[in-house]
Amino acid sequence: MKWDALEEEPCSLARTVAVIGDRWSLLILRECFLRIRRFDDFQASLGITRHLLADRLKKLVRFGVLRKIPYQESPKRYEYILTQKGLDLYPVIMSIVHWGDTHMVDARGRPMLHEHKNCHKMFDPVMVCSECGEPLSAKAVHVHRGPGARQSSPVHAKAQERGKRVAEPG
Amino acid sequence: MKWDALEEEPCSLARTVAVIGDRWSLLILRECFLRIRRFDDFQASLGITRHLLADRLKKLVRFGVLRKIPYQESPKRYEYILTQKGLDLYPVIMSIVHWGDTHMVDARGRPMLHEHKNCHKMFDPVMVCSECGEPLSAKAVHVHRGPGARQSSPVHAKAQERGKRVAEPG
DNA sequence: ACCTTAAGTTCTATTTTAGAACTGTCAATA
DNA sequence: TATTGACAGTTCTAAAATAGAACTTAAGGT
């Protein structure tokens, strides 16, 4: 499968993965949320090759996640800052960080702590239902085909059929 | 940077990216949450090459995200199912899907809708603070170094210093 | 003149991925 | 009995992506 094909898939996960679904893009976004904005700063803090950094920044700008803002003339220099579309990736970044905090820490504990300026406490992010406010789990959610769906997949139908005869996952 | 180095970084995002930070792992996980469990079903529904699928499944099992469960003897066959560690990735998957629903849909609308069995309504996932319950945004969060942190980076210090003299992001 | 900062671009070598074919086991079918 | 099909991989070569280092361009400072 080509990257371009991913963008066209009738699946919001696949389309998002087409934008941020590689290790460097996610790490670049981490730096953006930590207020890194300039080419050499990204390069120094990530250890990414300059070639790939230029490529990924271009891609994130093309998708409207970052925007180039001039910060000096002659020679013209730009900073890469998050657009609103980019800022909206915060839940993605935070849920990834939280999973790492839960399942990948070593004996020394968490590398970073997060304080909510609203309540002045250290917090964890919790994903809740927009309608009833209860925390979400995979088992409490039922998936329906939406208006942008493609015809249903025979593979999924077959697997679902089998699923009725065997134990539940988990 | 090598993949192995990512696992060792004192950063929960980097460590998580070492596990799920490539396009195929995320797509495989999508299928897992849609109840796909078997090798050929993954292969048929994703179009991934068999070589890479075998490699990624092995990796996800090694990290404890999936578990191999025998479903028949002679020839011995296994299903790949999510462990609790894997089920805990649900907020990651859902936040990615929600960003795609918000920013990457075409004119036809969302490919999938999600119903909460708890309240029987179609919902969006919302990320809130575990302490005060308010929705989270990047600007309302302050980051502190935790016990597992490394010495602070000169790059971040420099960028932060510069940040005080220029406009805020966004 | 020479060094530094900054943001890239270019180059070759290595690694990863795509795509297709092949292997091994067993069950069901002709 | 021979053949076909399901299933879960492995093996192969060619193409693509990445690593790592050097180079370029344009200015400012000493």
One pLDDT digit (tens) per residue for chain B, 170 residues: 777 788 889 999 999 999 999 999 999 999 999 999 999 999 999 999 999 999 999 999 999 999 999 999 888 899 999 999 999 999 999 999 999 999 999 999 999 999 999 999 999 999 999 999 999 999 999 999 999 998 888 888 888 877 765 444 32
In chain B, the domains with their CATH numbers are 3-88 (1.10.10.10), 89-140 (no CATH)
The set of long-range contacts for A39-44, using a CB threshold of 8 Å and a minimum separation of 24, is: A39/A80, A41/B155, A41/B158, A41/B159, A42/A80, A44/B155
- Is the distance from CB of A27 to CB of A93 less than 8 angstroms? no
Residue with CA nearest C1' of nucleotide D21? A49
Identity of residue A104: M
By three-state DSSP, how is residue B13 classified? Answer: helix
Question: How far is B8 from B12, CA to CA, in rounded Å?
Answer: 10
Q: What string of H, E and C letters represents the secondary structure of B103-143?
A: HCCCCCCCCEEEEECCCCEECCEEEEECCCCCECCHHHEEE
Q: Contact, A122 vs B145, CB < 8 A?
A: no
What are the tokens at A23?
């290790």
Residue A168 pLDDT exceeds 50: no
Q: Give CA–CA dist A57/A86, Å, rounded.
A: 12
- Pairwise CA distance, residues B4 & B2, whole Å: 5
Pairing of strands A112-116, A141-145: unpaired
pLDDT, one tens digit per residue, over A74-96 is: 888 999 999 999 999 999 999 99
> CB B40: neighbour CB atoms within 10 A?
10
Distance (Å, rounded) from C-alpha A144 to C-alpha B109? 13
For residue B103, give the amino acid letter.
Answer: H
Nucleotide C21 C1' to residue B80 CA (A): 26
Q: Look-up: residue for tokens 């309608």? A: A131
- Cβ contact (<8 Å) for A126 and B123? no
CA(A53)–C1'(C8) in Å?
10
Closest-lying nucleotide for B80 based on CA to C1': D8
* B141: nearest CB among A88, A111, A115: A115
Q: Name B126's Cβ contacts closer than 8 Å, sequence gap at least 6.
A: A127, A128, A129, A130, B135
Minimal Cβ distance to B127: which of A125, A134, A140: A125
- Residue B111, token pair as written in the block: 């490919």
- In B, minimum Cα distance to A133 occurs at B126
Quick check: B89 and A71 CB within 8 A? no
Listed in sequence order, the residues at least 6 apart from B101 whose beta carbon sits closer than 8 Å to its beta carbon are A12, B110, B124
| B49 lies within 8 A of chain A by CB | no
Q: Which positions in strand D are less than 7 Å from the protein's CB atoms?
A: 6-12, 17-22, 25-28
- Are the beta carbons of B127 and A95 separated by less than 8 Å? yes
In angstroms and rounded to an integer, the radius of gyration of the C-alpha atoms of chain A is 20
